[in-house]
């Protein structure tokens, strides 16, 4: 069960931009460091950008994610933002989970599972029949969270942002969303 002081807050540009920017830099810096440590791949050299430059290039478009096609959640504990996750439209009736990240000191408390559950529920609400995601091969705890939520491995999918040169080190997943049929009497 998730602690009552935890809040899943929809992103508000006027309130959260600096925190969201910092969280993305932290997440991607961790990712870059892990990719180098595990695969000896220098992502910043291959991409030609620092992590901060990369975040600056995508953030303005990314924060345009809004209901009824998507949502960005920030995980807050006593006012401190400690995690994030987003759902965006990938194509008609297909959503994509993006930027799932919980700060290391807050992991292992069920926050990731709850965030995935909320994103799946939003996907249903937005009318998606399928949700997809990509994750690095070294994010084994995340793989378990996604599998426990019903995601299955698939091949790389159209619209995935993972560069082709890194796809070998990624796992791609998909979940078919059940639709609730109305009973007629």
Question: Is 152 within the bounds of a domain?
Answer: yes
d(C-alpha 110, C-alpha 136), whole Å: 20
Nearest to 28 by CA among 48, 51, 44: 51
Split into its structural domains, the chain has a count of: 1
In a domain? residue 118 = yes
CATH value at residue 144:
3.40.630.30
Evaluate whether residue 169 is within a structural domain.
yes
Per-residue pLDDT reduced to its tens digit, 68-119: 999 999 999 988 999 999 999 999 999 999 999 999 999 999 999 999 999 9
Please check the confidence at residue 1 and state whether its pLDDT lies above 80.
no
What is d(CA 45, CA 161) in angstroms, rounded to the nearest whole number? 18
Q: Give the chain's largest Cα–Cα span.
A: 63
* Structural domain harbouring 121: 6-176
Inside any domain, residue 185: no
Residue 182 included in any domain: no
Q: What is the pLDDT of residues 107-144, one digit of tens each?
A: 999 999 999 999 999 999 999 999 999 999 999 999 99
Q: Specify if 110 maps to a domain.
A: yes
181 domain-assigned: no
Structure tokens at 7: 């809040």
Cis peptide before 44 (omega within 30 of 0): no
Three-state DSSP at 88 gives: strand
User: For the residues 43-56, what does the mean pLDDT come to?
Assistant: 87
- Report residue 99 as tokens: 């930027």
Burial tier of 61 (Cβ tally within 10 Å: 0-12, 13-18, 19+): exposed
């Amino acid at each position: 069960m998730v602690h009552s002081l935890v809040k899943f807050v929809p992103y508000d540009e006027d309130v959260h931009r600096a925190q969201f920017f910092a969280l993305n830099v932290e997440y991607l810096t961790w990712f870059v460091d892990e990719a180098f440590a595990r695969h000896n791949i220098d992502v910043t050299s291959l991409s030609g950008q620092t992590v901060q430059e990369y975040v600056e290039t995508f953030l303005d478009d990314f924060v345009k994610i809004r209901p009824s096609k998507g949502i960005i959640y920030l995980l807050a504990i006593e006012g401190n933002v400690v995690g994030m996750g987003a759902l965006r439209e990938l194509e008609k009736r297909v959503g994509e989970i993006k930027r799932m990240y919980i700060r290391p000191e807050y992991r292992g408390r069920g926050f990731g599972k709850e965030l995935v559950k909320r994103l799946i529920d939003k996907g249903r609400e937005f009318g998606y029949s399928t949700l997809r995601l990509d994750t690095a091969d070294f994010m084994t705890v995340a793989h378990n969270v996604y599998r426990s939520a019903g995601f299955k491995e698939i091949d790389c999918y159209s619209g995935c942002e993972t560069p082709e040169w890194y796809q070998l080190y990624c796992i791609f997943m998909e979940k078919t969303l059940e639709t609730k049929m109305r009973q007629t009497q």
